[in-house]
Each structure stands twice: as structure tokens, then as C-alpha cells.
Amino acid sequence: MQTAASRIRVFLEDLRLCVNERKFQVHPCAGGVTFLGWRLLPGRARLARGNVVRIRRRLRGMRKKYQAGLLTFAHLNATVQAWLGHAAWGDTWRLRRQLFGSLTLVAAAHGRNAGRRLEQQSTERPRLEP
């Protein structure tokens, strides 16, 4: 790896650039690298952990807002579809299945007894398919 580091330095010197010695490190490719929200490994790309944590929190919040009637289904669906389009660029099939396989949405009942009506709804709930 030292030879790779020295070759990188020589290449950059030819371009009249230099490396920041405190930040410059060479690692094996097998460990992968995080770049633009993706963990890039040899032969595959996975979403970085922070992105997965954020979408789980966002889904939980959107589900609560939708059940409270503060969010429309169209807005919720647009957000989910946008994230699915982003996630589809990597090896995320199992992740998407895990996130959306158990997601159920119950629409808010508006009016004076909204909470009571929500409890009296049938056990069959609409599902948001990935």
C-alpha cells in the first residue's frame, strides 16, 4: 500500500497538486468506502447506515401524521416513491422489503369522535406496496 500512496503522490505532483498529510490514507478496497450516502464495496453498493436510520424515522413520523390527518396519501406516496427510486440504484431489495413489508396505514377519521372511530375500523388495513 505504500507503493500505491507514493504513486498517488507522484501523479498529483505532475498535476501540481499535493495531498493533505493529516487526511491522506490508503485502505484496502475490501473494506469499502462511503461516498454520497452509499457504502461502495467491491461488486456492490449499499445504502449508508445513516440513510437507513433517517428513512425509518421519516416513515414512522409520516405514518403518525397520516393517521392524524395532517398528511395526504398523495404526499406520503410521492415521498416513498422518491426514496424507492433512490434506493433502487443499489443492492437494497431486502432492505426495501423489510421497511415496507410490514408498513400499514390507517387513514384518519375526521370529526368529533375520531379516535373512537379509528379503533372501530376493521382489522383489514390498506397497505403501501413498494
pLDDT at 103 over 60: yes
In angstroms, the CA 87 to CA 95 distance is 9
Percent of the chain residues topping a pLDDT of 70: 83
pTM of the model: 0.62
Task: Region of 43 please: left (phi>0), alpha (psi -120 to 50) or beta.
Answer: left
Cβ-contact 108, 125 below 8 angstroms = no
User: In this predicted structure, what is the pLDDT of residue 81?
Assistant: 92
Report the distance separating Cα 121 and Cα 111, nearest Å. 15
* Average model confidence (pLDDT) across the chain: 82
